[in-house]
Structure 1
Amino acid sequence: MEKIIIGKIVNAVGLKGEVKVYCYTDRKERFEELERVYVEDTPYPIANVRYQANVAILRLEGIDDRNQAEAQKGKNVSILESDLERLPEDTYYVRDLLGIAVADEEGRVLGSLSDVVQSSAQDLYEIKLESGKKILLPAVREFVLSVDMENRTMNVKLPEGLLDL
């Protein structure tokens, strides 16, 4: 089963083996709902979770002192694909959107979705045009008309003049 990276260990905390995890998820509280995480390929049951600003502090079973915690610094934290939350309708994981074909209102293929830039106001879809040029499109209903995950296509309405920039 595929593993999904949800964070990175950025430091050790204290003397008892806790690790500070920079979260890639939009809900750091997700760690409270998990029984275990993987650090690289090694599974670790979660013994305790707490928070410090925008990071999670995890106490992982089997990492019992600061030296062991420091040895994990820089490593990815993952979960199994089966541990992913079910999303509401018309909501997608970024990993599922990447590479999807993007077409205009008339069905002409413009290019593909190459990245999702997550910001505080709204997400921006980075679309790599067939010409190689990249444009950013706000991920809002006004511009994103439909997403067909089965056929891996997205239909969009581009703001006037966007392609001329």
Structure 2
Amino acid sequence: MNKEDCFYLGKIVKKYSFKGELILKLDTDEPEIYENLNVIFLDLGKNLVPYFIEKSLFQKGNHLRIQFEDVYSEADAEVLLKRDAYLPLNLLPKLKGNKFYFHEVTGFILEDVHYGKVGVIDSINDVSAQALFVVKTDEGEIFIPMVDDFIEDIDRKNKKITVRTPEGLIDMNKA
């Protein structure tokens, strides 16, 4: 399994017991939909390796206690600590309306209701306090804040996002 075909689910953050159980901290707004997984893929360096789940139980918040098949000791569990967990993209729940996954909108055309076509979404910058659309234009690259109030429509069929940005934002970005 390649990372490009998967989405980040979370990270193994600690051991739970001397029997090899581990705690997976889920990186999701809806952790309950991942309660009954059969397998997850752990990043073991160059490869994503499948680990089959024998049993799992929700803990407080977004923590999932997991017992993997063939991981029955503290030593076995130690090897898996701090590993990133992934699932295939086809297991992502479908979103509707103006909700979207960041990877989903790469390549979409970004259009402003006043300005017209701005450019093509190249990526999402989510390392700052406010996530930003990184948009390739004929002149270069501009950044549009991903603010719910700005997003008017997401047209998945035509791969287009329509925004209503404050007057001057796009021109200021181009300067």
Q: RMSD of the TM alignment (CA)?
A: 2.9
- Which whole-Å CA distance do the structure 1 matches of 2:84 and 2:156 have between them? 28
Structure 1 residues 83 and 92: alpha-carbon distance in aligned structure 2, compared to 1, 3 A threshold: same
- Which whole-Å CA distance do the structure 2 matches of 1:89 and 1:134 have between them? 23
Between the aligned residues of both structures, percent identity stands at 21
Q: C-alpha deviations, 1:128-149, integer Å up to 9, x for none?
A: 3533242313023xx2122222
| Residue of structure 2 equivalent to 1:157 | 164
Structure 1 residues 132 and 90: alpha-carbon distance in aligned structure 2, compared to 1, 3 A threshold: closer
Residues 102 and 127 in structure 1, CA contact (< 8 A), matched pair in contact too = no
Q: CA deviation at 1:125?
A: 4.1
Q: CA deviation at 1:126?
A: 2.8
| Residue of structure 1 equivalent to 2:20 | 17
Q: CA deviation at 1:55?
A: 2.8
Q: How does 1:3-152 map to 2 (within 5 A)?
A: 3-39=6-42, 40-105=48-113, 106-112=115-121, 114-115=123-124, 117=126, 124-128=131-135, 130=137, 131-140=140-149, 143-152=150-159
Q: C-alpha deviations, 1:52-85, integer Å up to 9, x for none?
A: 4443222222211111111012322122333332
Structure 1 residues 48 and 137: alpha-carbon distance in aligned structure 2, compared to 1, 3 A threshold: closer
Structure 1 residues 116 and 148: alpha-carbon distance in aligned structure 2, compared to 1, 3 A threshold: farther
Residues 101 and 113 in structure 1, CA contact (< 8 A), matched pair in contact too = no
Residues 6 and 79 in structure 1, CA contact (< 8 A), matched pair in contact too = yes
| Residue of structure 1 equivalent to 2:45 | none
Report the count of equivalent residues.
160
- Which whole-Å CA distance do the structure 1 matches of 2:19 and 2:72 have between them? 6
Unaligned 5+ segments in structure 1 are none
Q: In structure 2, the residue corresponding to 1:108 is in which secondary structure?
A: strand
Residues 37 and 46 in structure 1, CA contact (< 8 A), matched pair in contact too = no
The one-letter amino acid of 2:161's match is M
Q: In structure 2, the residue corresponding to 1:33 is in which secondary structure?
A: coil
User: Taking structure 1 as the reference length, what is the TM-score of the superposition?
Assistant: 0.76
Q: C-alpha deviations, 1:28-63, integer Å up to 9, x for none?
A: 222213232222322312412232444322222221
Residues 124 and 139 in structure 1, CA contact (< 8 A), matched pair in contact too = no
Residues 40 and 51 in structure 2, CA contact (< 8 A), matched pair in contact too = yes
- Which whole-Å CA distance do the structure 1 matches of 2:146 and 2:91 have between them? 30
User: Taking structure 2 as the reference length, what is the TM-score of the superposition?
Assistant: 0.73
Unaligned 5+ segments in structure 2 are 43-47
Residues 104 and 110 in structure 1, CA contact (< 8 A), matched pair in contact too = no
